Amino acid sequence: MILTIDIGNTNITFGCHDRTKNTFTARMSTDRAKTADQYGAEMLQILSLYRANLNDISDAAISSVVPELTEVIERAAKKITKKTPLVVGPGVKCGLNIKIDNPAQLGADLVCSAVGAAEKYPLPCLVLDLGTATKISVIDDDGSFLGCSISPGVVISMNALSNGTSLLPSLYFDKPQTAIGTNTVKSMQAGIVLGNAAMLDGMCEKIEKELKKTAATIVATGGVAERIIPYCERDIILDPDLIFDGMMSIYNKNRTNKR
């Protein structure tokens, strides 16, 4: 099995991939102050929680959008696997034709999710990644990455609304019944959940107009996708392991000694 790790600004998500699927997915809070030993110990505890056999973990792959933690997690993973992990980034073969102004600037998370989508789903494809930021990536008919849109994430927006206003409370996710809230909490839930769902529907429509074609697939991933996607009008596939599937594809393209 391969230890797959996605380092995000809010959470570090990781699991063990058996080359067909992730056997489990776990999350740790991103803490820039922790050392490699602390992260390693925490990962070992979680691996034990999921009853993962360390002897079965032969290597690791890492995707990171937090540069100051990349080397820290790399050292933590090396302590667990006794191997130097593959870190997705410039110089690593991904098989993706990246058609943006500076391909080297494309985040590793977007690379992995795009590779996963291009291999798993009919094209053209829109990939909705609902994490710290909400990102919509566009993969064309031939598997080329054309670009993306980036907007504040659902949780960032929710926290900004609560923290920046005196009368609006902190909010928890719940199922909004209507778009017209009859009290403060219901109104905020309607705006956050239904508002973000409507934004995703609208952005997908605008992107399709620019492409002059309809997306064959729209797939969603990320920490809050399951909270928002059910309220979208579009037919959207939820795929929480998309980034790990793409990471494994990239791993296999670069590590010739397939363990």
Q: Which residues are catalytically annotated? A: 109
In whole angstroms, give the CA distance from residue 13 to residue 5.
6
Helices 108-120 & 242-254 angle (0-180, nearest 10): 90
DSSP E strands in 54-102: the ranges are 59-64, 86-87, 97-98
Residue type, 170: S
- Helix, strand, or coil here: 119? helix
Using DSSP bridges, classify how beta strands 59-64 and 86-87 pair: parallel, antiparallel or unpaired: parallel
CB neighbours of residue 89 within 10 Å: 17
